[in-house]
Amino acid sequence: MKIGIMGYGNLGKGIECAIKQNPDMELAAVFSRRNPETVKILTEGVKVYPAEDALKMKDQIDVLILCGGSATDLPVQTPEYAKYFNVVDSFDTHARIPEHFANVDAAAKENGNIAVISCGWDPGMFSLNRLYANCILPQGRDYTFWGKGVSQGHSDAIRRVEGVADGKQYTIPVESALEKVRNGENPDLTTREKHIRECFVVAKEGADKAKIEQEIKSMPNYFADYDTTVHFITEEELQRDHKGIPHGGFVIRSGKTGWNEENSHIIEYSLKLDSNPEFTASVIIACARAAYRMKKEGMAGCKTIFDIAPAYMSPLSGEELRAHML
Amino acid sequence: MKIGIMGYGNLGKGIECAIKQNPDMELAAVFSRRNPETVKILTEGVKVYPAEDALKMKDQIDVLILCGGSATDLPVQTPEYAKYFNVVDSFDTHARIPEHFANVDAAAKENGNIAVISCGWDPGMFSLNRLYANCILPQGRDYTFWGKGVSQGHSDAIRRVEGVADGKQYTIPVESALEKVRNGENPDLTTREKHIRECFVVAKEGADKAKIEQEIKSMPNYFADYDTTVHFITEEELQRDHKGIPHGGFVIRSGKTGWNEENSHIIEYSLKLDSNPEFTASVIIACARAAYRMKKEGMAGCKTIFDIAPAYMSPLSGEELRAHML
Which strands make up the sheet holding B164-173, listed edge to edge?
Answer: B149-150, B164-173, B195-203, B227-232
> Average pLDDT of B116-140?
98
Q: What is the mean pLDDT of residues B232-246?
A: 97
Q: Does residue B288 contact residue B295 with C-beta atoms inside 8 Å? A: no
How far from the centroid of its chain's Cα atoms is residue A315's Cα?
22
CA distance linking residue B202 with residue B216, whole number of Å: 13
b/e burial code for range B4-30 (CB count within 10 A of at least 16 → b): bbbbbeebbbbbbbbbbbbeebebbbb
Interface of A with B in 11-50 (CB under 8 A): 14, 16-18, 20-22, 42
Q: How does the average pLDDT of chain B come out, rounded? A: 97
Task: Tell me what the mean pLDDT of segment B21-35 comes to.
Answer: 98
- How far apart are the C-alpha atoms of B187 and A210, rounded to whole Å? 47
User: pLDDT-based confidence at B184, cuts 50/70/90?
Assistant: very high
> Starting from the edge strand earliest in sequence, which strands make up the sheet with A263-273, in order?
A140-146, A247-257, A263-273, B263-273, B247-257, B140-146
For A326, nearest residue in chain B (alpha carbons): B127
Q: Closest Cα of chain A to B129: distance in Å?
A: 9
In chain B, the percentage of residues whose pLDDT exceeds 70 is: 100
Residue B258 and residue B108: Cα distance in Å, rounded? 44
Establish if B276 touches chain A: CB-CB under 8 angstroms: no
Smallest Cα distance from A132 to chain B, Å: 7
Q: What is the pLDDT of residue B297?
A: 96
Q: Check: CB of residue B3 under 8 Å from CB of residue B28.
A: yes
Q: Is B152 helix (H, G, I), strand (E, B) or coil?
A: helix
Are B17 and A101 an interchain contact pair (Cβ–Cβ within 8 Å)? Answer: no
Q: How confident is the model at residue B238 (pLDDT cuts 50, 70, 90)?
A: very high
A62: helix, strand or coil: coil
Q: Which residue in the set A266, A269, A274 is minimally distant from B263, CB to CB?
A: A274
**Nearest CB to A307; choose among B125, B136, B311:** B311
Q: Give the per-residue pLDDT at B283.
A: 98
Predicted pLDDT of residue A238:
97
Q: Which residues of A touch B271 (CB under 8 A)?
A: 265-268
Q: Is B128 on the interface with A (CB under 8 A)?
A: yes
CA A263, CA A260: separation in Å to the nearest integer?
8
Instruction: Give the list of residues 6+ apart from residue B236 with CB closer than 8 angstroms, or none.
Output: none
- The mean pLDDT value for B10-15 works out to 98
Angle at B172 between CA B168 and CA B176, to 5 degrees: 160
Q: In degrees, to the nearest 5, what angle opens at C-alpha B222 toward C-alphas B217 and B229?
A: 35
Does the CB of A266 have a partner CB in chain B at under 8 Å? yes
Q: What is the pLDDT of residue B61?
A: 98
Say yes or no: B131 contacts chain A, CB-CB below 8 A: yes
Number of CB pairs, chain A paired with chain B, less than 8 A apart: 213
Using CB atoms, which residue from B125, B134, B139 is nearest to A314?
B134
Report the alpha-carbon distance of residue A115 to residue A89 in Å, rounded.
8
pLDDT at A255: 98
Query: Which residue does chain B place closest to A124, by CA atoms?
Result: B326
Could you say which residues from 89 to 108 on chain A have a Cβ atom under 8 Å away from some Cβ of chain B? 94, 97-98, 101
pLDDT band at residue B165 using 50, 70 and 90 as cut-offs:
very high
| Interchain contact, A306 vs B323, CB within 8 Å | no
pLDDT attached to residue B21: 98
**Over the stretch B268-290, which tens digit does the pLDDT of each residue have?**
999 999 999 999 999 999 999 99
Q: Residue A248: what pLDDT?
A: 98
Quote the pLDDT of residue A145: 98
Please state, in angstroms and rounded to a whole number, the distance separating the CA atoms of residues A111 and A295. 11
Regions in chain A scoring below 50 on pLDDT: none
CB proximity under 8 Å: B 177-236 to A? 182
pLDDT of residue B175: 97
What is the ipTM metric for this complex?
Answer: 0.97
Q: Do B98 and A20 touch (CB under 8 A)?
A: no
| Whole-number pLDDT of residue A325 | 94
Predicted confidence (pLDDT) per residue in A150-184, tens digit: 999 999 999 999 999 999 999 999 999 999 999 99
Length of chain B: 326
pTM here is 0.96
Give the pLDDT of residue A272.
98
